[in-house]
Amino acid sequence: MIEQYVLDLQEVDETQVAVVGGKAAHLGGLSRIEGIRVPAGFCVTTAAFRRIMAEAPSIDDRLDQLSRLNPDDREAIRTLSAEIRRTIEGIAIPGDLAAAITRALAQLGEQAAYAVRSSATAEDLPTASFAGQQDTYLNVVGLAAILQHVSRCWASLFTERAVTYRLRNGFDHRKVHMAVVVQQMVFPDAAGILFTADPVTGNRKVATVDASFGLGEALVSGLVNPDVFRVRDGEVIAKAVAAKQRAVHALPAGGAQEVALDPQRQEQPALTDAQVVRLVQLGRRIEAHFDRPQDIEWCLVDDDFQIVQSRPITTLYPIPAVRDTENHVYVSVGHQQMMTDPMKPLGVSVWQLTAMAPMHEAGGRLFVDVTRRLASPASRAGLLEMAGRGDPLIRDALETVLDRHDFVPALPDAGPGGPPASGASAPIETDPDIVTELIERSQASIAALRRDIRTKTGPALFDFLLEAFQEHKRVLSDPLSMQAIMAGMEATWWLNDQLREWLGEKNAADTLTLSAPGNVTSEMGLALLDVADVIRPHPEVVAFLQGVEDDGFLDELSKFAGGTEARDAIEAYLDRYGMRCVGEIDITRPRWRERPTTLVPLILDNIKLFEPGAAERRFEQGRQEAQKKAQEVLERLRALPDGEQKADETKRMIDRVRTFIGYREYPKYGIVSRYFVYKQALLEEAERLVQANVLPEKEDIFYLTFQELHDVVRSNEVDDKLIQQRKDAFRSYHALTPPRVLTSDGEAIAGAYRRNDVPTGALIGLPVSAGTIEGRARVILDMAQADLEPGDILVTAHTDPSWTPLFVAITGLVTEVGGLMTHGAVIAREYGLPAVVGVVDATRLIPDGQRIRVHGSDGYVEILP
């Protein structure tokens, strides 16, 4: 096959990224859109680059070295990448390749000025922009200069910033190739950037135009502040005209220079409103062609727009796909479930099939559409009340949407607003037997699931699971279970509200719920202290555990004195809690039973930080504190007017809280217990697919939805390309931050705390567990990396039940996500840890090791000197 080293831009389109790189492929695509003008040019293909790389065998060894470097080792990256660039620039361009470039230039005009621009194969992709990673050279004149700058573009694949970006994002240096665009130079009156969606808010209906005089380099390099225009529905809705003191202009002999602008011109807008609207119309045409919002570089020449680049905006949060064009308001499920990481497709679809409300996926996260609930005044009040109790930022974000008046349609109260926000039915009596009965029902249902699933394989397994999902939902929606959960929550709110009003007590329920009985999650943390007690007396076992890396370590334990007891204690713990893990709402996440090494650092910390019997002492201490608090509160109430009545009501609510608040954690335990049964059955099915050579590895099923996996099992055929696309997409979702509230316009709304009662410089959050504590902040994003000392305060993004074993070793808690009744808050109260949740960007703003003061009653964190 004869390699094509040069292609005209008119010959390529966006399907040819492998041949001409992302930038050239997009330029080729742009040149085919009616009404869009693109400067003429050609592309030196990746085949030419590969040929040049083959001329220098020494580069191969250096690429091996490069791939082994740590992305943070800047000095090594700088040295090695500079060597590779020098080698590439030193290779003479072979005669036939130089001739092909010369012929292409002759057709356009050899003495004209050109822009010589890098176009890498991993560039301008929907999932990674690589913007600014490689080099562009403007106003290059003459064949010799053009050939020299083509070499420089090839070498720029190995700039320090490009190499670091690839190392951080998992791109193989050998799999990224470089093409070069040579394009007729445009000498514009004005230039700039058009975003077809607002890059700050994400709103897809608002376009933003940045504009300055002369070449766009002045704007890109930060030499001038641009004029900024915002356009919606064909109208400029906002503009800010900057004082532009300088511009960059091309020189006749090549290169460019800065020039000062006349004072009277500095204050003039670079574009008229009519030109801005016309530019945005062109942008909408480009956006429609590429089927996603675009970041477009444009030039204005004699009142005519030319487009010199278009790439996807990769930072926008995706919008859930719906079939209508109506307005929708979505609330993040992850912020309520304490898991804002992306989920794999199987995880998303199983959660959708087992959830109580319809859910939409976007960016690997789940969202609930609350538009109808917001539209009806009655259900709106309930929704806002529940949101405010759980996460004030969600409530504030929803109110921000409602304040726009025109976004959410108004429905009469009788309209389909859905059930009241709490889903609560009539209150129930305070009877511990209710909780016992609910737990027995759940355990019986799970035992039946385990028994009945054993014989199911192939398509019959999927039919069985669809029925099991219905039983799953039935257990979750059990009216008695809902009443028990709400009884505990509402009694907590009642105690906090009434005791504040009557006694001036803040967050009184926090102490009253200490060591509440029957909380399966807080028991899990204490039970790991008991495991540590079994292992602590056996130094050989402790020494062995300190070096454990392999999940098969349990089989090795019996070789050591005390090892059999240690193994039995860990096995018993896994039998009860082994279905748990970080991010457990995603069925694809590895469970503790599958990866028991996760527990080893926690056990070792417990051995180091605690004395024997700590679990029992701790629980009893909390129980006594709660009892003492209850007596104190009731005595103070009896001294008030109507004191006996107030004390009786309060006693009833304290009993109700202590009976029901622990049960609130049980339904989640039931969900993940069932999930582990489903997962084990699906992985056995995946193993059969691997044996039949349908799949290369079992975990590939995680990138298929439940229905797609069902189809694969029926047909014994799989779409490998689809699985690879899903893996790439999943990787890209990690870079996205899911918003608490998202609209169908794409606007991500974070919400704000409207408070002025905190010290200057303090980080505001939601008070969820009373008390004030000072200590060292341990910023931990991965539980396996925890290495705690006495007195440490845990600072993390979010915690789910799997983090509970860590809670026994800390003195306070700060999280970025959470609410009054989410996992971290409930367990912090049970363990008596001061806690503030919903602290935006806490893990970024609080350095690891920093001394901080957590105000758990007032909801803020101070960073101490």
Catalytic (active-site) positions: 823
Amino acid (1-letter code) at residue 234 = G
Beta strands in 355-424 (DSSP E): 360-362, 365-369
Location of structure tokens 């303090």: 762
What residues does 114 pair with on adjacent strands?
140, 184
For residues 365 and 345, the answer to whether their CB atoms sit within 8 Å is: no
Q: How far is CA 309 from CA 130, 174, 181, 192, 224, in A?
A: 14, 26, 11, 11, 21
**Side-chain half-sphere exposure of 14, counting CA atoms within 13 A:** 18
For residues 6 and 101, the answer to whether their CB atoms sit within 8 Å is: yes
Location of structure tokens 């109208």: 235
Q: How far is CA 54 from CA 75, 89, 96, 382, in A?
A: 27, 14, 16, 68
For residues 681 and 698, the answer to whether their CB atoms sit within 8 Å is: no
- What is the total residue count of the chain? 865
For residues 344 and 703, the answer to whether their CB atoms sit within 8 Å is: yes
3-class DSSP state for residue 182? Answer: strand
The widest CA-to-CA distance across the chain, in whole angstroms, is 102
For residues 524 and 592, the answer to whether their CB atoms sit within 8 Å is: no
DSSP line for 719-760: -HHHHHHHHHHHHHHTT----SEEETT--EE--------S-T
Q: How far is CA 396 from CA 393, 741, 754, in A?
A: 5, 10, 9
For residues 604 and 546, the answer to whether their CB atoms sit within 8 Å is: yes
Tokens coding 422: 């709490």
Sheet holding 772-779, edge to edge: 763-764, 860-863, 851-855, 772-779, 793-796, 812-815, 835-837, 766-769
Q: What is the spatial distance between Cα 598 and Cα 160, in angstroms, rounded to a whole number?
A: 36
What residues does 821 pair with on adjacent strands?
none
Q: What is the spatial distance between Cα 55 and Cα 97, in angstroms, rounded to a whole number?
A: 13
Q: What is the spatial distance between Cα 217 and Cα 226, in angstroms, rounded to a whole number?
A: 11
Q: What is the spatial distance between Cα 703 and Cα 588, in angstroms, rounded to a whole number?
A: 9
Q: Compute how many other C-beta atoms are within 10 angstroms of the C-beta atom of residue 511.
A: 21
Q: How far is CA 305 from CA 36, 112, 187, 225, 572, in A?
A: 8, 20, 12, 21, 71
Given its phi and psi angles, is residue 809 left (phi above 0), alpha (psi -120 to 50 degrees) or beta? alpha
- Phi–psi pair at 773, nearest 5 degrees: -140, 140
Q: What is the spatial distance between Cα 371 and Cα 358, in angstroms, rounded to a whole number?
A: 13
